[in-house]
A and B are shown apart, each in its own frame.
Chain A
């Protein structure tokens, strides 16, 4: 009798354990049917969740639309000698986790809370004072490309956790320059997001235009030395599902910098148009009239173009691997009288 009851007990235990192991495998089924569109335009129905970085609304904390046309001019004052002085405050952090693509969370290292950092803008000859505060756990610096004294180069003066430093120099030369952290291992500090753009305008100014900033970058979310995502302004596919609206006949000026790590080149191809290209933006005469420019690390320049015909135009890396991993967007050109494509 006892042996039988023990056998029953053992059987109950085995059955119970199996149930505990098997239960999580049985998931609660959903009945709601969702649809999504494939790259080829096919419509697919599913009872499950849709994994679609193109058309899934994401809750990213960083807004590429806002970043696109935002320029920071600093707190402006005039010195005793009549020089324009621009004060900026930049705070570095390395503890933020942000949703960089729908459902993908990544530890970004930031200047002022975003990747890329703020776009700083000044006029040639202005005195710049950048108050740098390192609120990160590691040492960081800001290294500006451009002309400045050696002690302001942000290489040999690491700013430790909780430290401060004031970078002070005259804005120059005219053009578009990147800035980035210069602490070793350099690749790690850059690829996590510690970079941004610094624009120096000529004293006489440039022709009025619809101006925007595109920092071309990549994200290595699994730390294997290869980028999992590419983008203009960090968020993959963002400007594809949020087309950039411009007006036909308007001059558009894009300040472009390539901050992609790991891959030796990146490029910028524009559909249905060609642009005038000013390498590094240091000259007022364009060097090229083309629809395709190749950029190596920290190569940058200014692109100017005007669309005649309203409609949707793609722009993307013609290294199509990058575009299929997020570096692709659309210009939505509105016609005269504000009548845009599809409006």
Chain B
């Protein structure tokens, strides 16, 4: 009986799937004529343009509803002989590399055009040509240094507020916890905005960028919420500090990406500017971690580990952004960071309540408001 009812349950789960498969097969097969409405327009996206030696490399992806063939390449609207690897035929979402031999000049703008078999020309504008970054040890060391300055150093400096936070009155402590929540809330919004920006500017419409970001945020929130509950059950309240460090670490990974990509695409001045801004901005993140652990007496190695978890991902981010920038990966990482931070905000707010604080109390309200404001003001530097 048991086996039979289980079999029935499995069948009940599978029957709708089978019906969907049949429906799909019909719509794509015999029923496709019925659904042929309008004219499918081919579309490709030039996802990135690299300037290497005496070649311009354009990565193109078929982001339209039908397969296309790449027919021609041009630079500044002048036809150039080129090669397309692995081949000119692109199925939906397939990508290829178009190599255009061209003696380009540093810092000059270029319009890269790709024409498909139906004669449509797609263009990507590059504001200033710069040699593509090649992964060398020197550059890797440079990115590591930058990541340390942006991530690790300010977080450690911020954590030096720990003795100051210890032994303060409960109302003051609530203020600093709320301040942390405010800081984090700002970071979550910031990361979301950045992810949407990237998805809007650099991601083909076919990928539904905004929904990709929303999905990344939701999944990361749920994953951390779930694991956070498990972790809290096992190791006690000390987990909150770890959760905050992880959230901030993901966020700093995103900042590393932005800096690495800025240097990678050659806008070094912009990169320097970002570094200064992020360094100041991130001191506040150390404060957030310090506030979360100040009521316990964590050992020094634990504090060091928290600082590394929060700060070191900036180095990884800089490497990724500088050497293997992908708009899709960036949008996803930033979305994951935003979801993680939102989860931490929830943890902090719940913690304030567990400590006997109320949202309507002056210290909590003021803390949240100050957190947002401090972040906004330091963000102007970025």
Contacts and interface: CB of A to CB of B under 8 A. Distances in A.
Interface of A: 2, 21, 24-25, 27-30, 34, 36-40, 42, 44, 46-55, 100-106, 219, 221-222, 224, 228, 236, 321, 324-326
Contact of B101 (A30, A42, A228): A42
Nearest to B14: A9
A101 B96 contact: no
Given A24-B93, A228-B115, A228-B121, A104 B72 contact: yes
A222 B119 contact: yes
B83 A36 contact: yes
B229 interface: no
Contacts of B358: none
27 contacts: A24-B92, A24-B93, A27-B87, A34-B83, A37-B81, A42-B54, A44-B99, A46-B85, A46-B99, A48-B84, A48-B88, A48-B96, A50-B81, A50-B83, A51-B71, A51-B72, A51-B73, A51-B88, A103-B69, A221-B118, A222-B119, A222-B121, A224-B121, A321-B78, A324-B78, A324-B79, A325-B79
A102 B81 contact: no
B81 A39 contact: yes
B87 A104 contact: no
A87 B224 CA distance: 85
B85 A47 contact: yes
Contacts of A101: 71-72
A25 B85 contact: no
A55 B84 CA distance: 16
Given A102-B71, A103-B69, A105-B117, A51 B84 contact: yes
Nearest to A36: B81
B86 A48 contact: yes
Contacts of B78: 321, 324-325
A18 to B, nearest CB: 13
Q: Lowest 7 A-B CB distances belong to which pairs?
A: A221-B119, A48-B85, A46-B83, A103-B71, A324-B78, A52-B81, A49-B88
B54 A221 contact: no
Nearest to B69: A103
A54 B81 contact: yes
Interface in B242-288: none
B327 to A, nearest CB: 15
Contacts of A49: 70, 83-85, 87-88
A49 B98 CA distance: 9
Contacts of A221: 115, 118-121
B3 to A, nearest CB: 12
B94 interface: yes
Contacts of B98: 51
B8 to A, nearest CB: 13
Contact of A44 (B9, B69, B77, B101): B101
B119 A106 contact: yes
Interface of B: 6, 9, 54, 69-73, 77-88, 91-99, 101, 103, 115, 117-121
Contacts of A39: 80-81
A100 B71 CA distance: 11
A34 B86 CA distance: 12
Nearest to B71: A103
Given A24-B92, A221-B120, A222-B121, A53 B87 contact: no
Nearest to A222: B120
A25 B93 contact: yes
A44 B83 CA distance: 9
Nearest to B81: A52
A38 B94 CA distance: 27
B101 A105 contact: no
Q: Of A28, A48, A219, A228, which is in contact with the most chain B CB atoms at under 10 Å from its CB?
A: A48
A37 B78 CA distance: 16
A222 B6 CA distance: 59
Given A27-B86, A30-B87, A106-B119, 6 more contacts: A2-B9, A24-B94, A25-B94, A100-B119, A103-B72, A321-B77
Given A46-B99, A49-B88, A228-B121, A27 B83 contact: no
A188 B233 CA distance: 73
Contact of A104 (B91, B99, B115): B115
Nearest to B70: A51
A47 B214 CA distance: 39
A123 to B, nearest CB: 40
Contacts of A102: 71
A12 to B, nearest CB: 12
A276 B285 CA distance: 80
A36 to B, nearest CB: 5
A228 B6 CA distance: 65
Contact of B79 (A42, A105, A236): A236
B118 A47 contact: no
Contact of B82 (A28, A52, A104, A236): A52
A44 B91 CA distance: 26
Contacts of B85: 46-49
A204 B115 CA distance: 50
A102 B115 CA distance: 11
Nearest to A56: B81
A29 B86 contact: yes
B117 A103 contact: yes
A27 B6 contact: no
B308 to A, nearest CB: 32
B101 A24 contact: no
A202 to B, nearest CB: 41
Contacts of B77: 321, 325
Contacts of A104: 71-72, 115, 117-119
Given A44-B99, A103-B71, A105-B117, A30 B79 contact: no
